[in-house]
Structure 1
């Protein structure tokens, strides 16, 4: 991709997030985004259909980064490791402004839904990979419980100004997952 195009897209996405930190998404206009990004409206429309498309692409890019960060480094590993969980929290810590803004903006419940869907998909894959002997109802309940709990912890951590480091929150969450026998007890 041309560096100028990438630079414009990054500036436009950053403008949207900064504006969302101070006002509801629904009240943000393309003109405001263009002004904040220091581009013209045509540049925005050359990359995105409208502000909803821009928001969707912004979420998509960041969810893909999160997915990449939480995958095991060794594809042969069945479960994500504590290290991959820590990488995920480190990415969220590094981009805390973005994640907190999307989680707290009243006009964007879709980000939390995307995050939860990502968790649901990953947990379902783990259940299938480990051939857990659960009936469909048990699987559905387990998936809902784990995804809701994990997303809730992430949301709490970000909206409470990260009261502990990414390493500490990883340790706490890992202990909870081990305690509830969600992950095998491995020495990492």
Structure 2
């Protein structure tokens, strides 16, 4: 991709994020985005159909980065790759705190929370499959939902309370709770 195009797209996405931190998504106009990004409206429309398409592409790009950071660590000497993946994910969230805080606070973007939870659901399902837990489907589904809801809830709390601790600290605390619950689930299998 041409560097100028990438630079414009980054500026446009950053402008949208900044505006969303200031006001509700529904009240943001293409003119405001263009002005903030220092591009003309035509540039925005050459990349995006409208502000909803821009938001969808912005979400997709950020979620793709999250998925990549959440993927299992390939270091075979790591005694706990799932915990390391959680840390990497929380570090990615922390690195882009303005974006995620804005999305989690903006009521118009409830779909982001659902997409985040789906991503975490998939990671937890993978963890269950890796551990060969012998649970019936209903027990497995309930366990996955419980663990992913708890994780997303803690992430939301972390952002709504202005990240009161580092990604490493919250990973340690969250992991100890998740691990305790996983042990209880394993004992029922």
Settle same-fold status: TM greater than 0.5.
Answer: yes
1:182/1:69 Cα in 2 relative to 1: closer, same or farther (>3 Å)?
Answer: farther
* Aligned ranges 1:121-160 → 2 under 5 Å: 121-160=122-161
1:28/1:182 Cα in 2 relative to 1: closer, same or farther (>3 Å)?
Answer: farther
The answer on whether the counterparts of 1:72 and 1:79 sit within 8 Å (CA) in structure 2 is no
Q: Offset at 1:79?
A: 6.8
Distance 1:35 1:10 in 2: 14
The RMSD of aligned alpha carbons is 1.9
Distance 2:29 2:69 in 1: 32
Corresponding residue pairs, total: 183
What's the counterpart of residue 118 of structure 2? 117
Instruction: Give 5+ residue unaligned stretches, structure 1.
Output: 184-188
Q: Offset at 1:136?
A: 1.3
User: What SS does the corresponding residue of 2:123 show, helix, strand or coil?
Assistant: helix
The answer on whether the counterparts of 1:86 and 1:166 sit within 8 Å (CA) in structure 2 is yes
The answer on whether the counterparts of 1:79 and 1:126 sit within 8 Å (CA) in structure 2 is no
Instruction: Give 5+ residue unaligned stretches, structure 2.
Output: 185-189
Moved runs in structure 1, 4+ residues, more than 6 A?
Answer: 75-79
* Aligned ranges 1:25-174 → 2 under 5 Å: 25-74=25-74, 80-174=81-175
Structure with greater proportional helix content = 2
What's the counterpart of residue 21 of structure 1? 21
What's the counterpart of residue 187 of structure 2? none
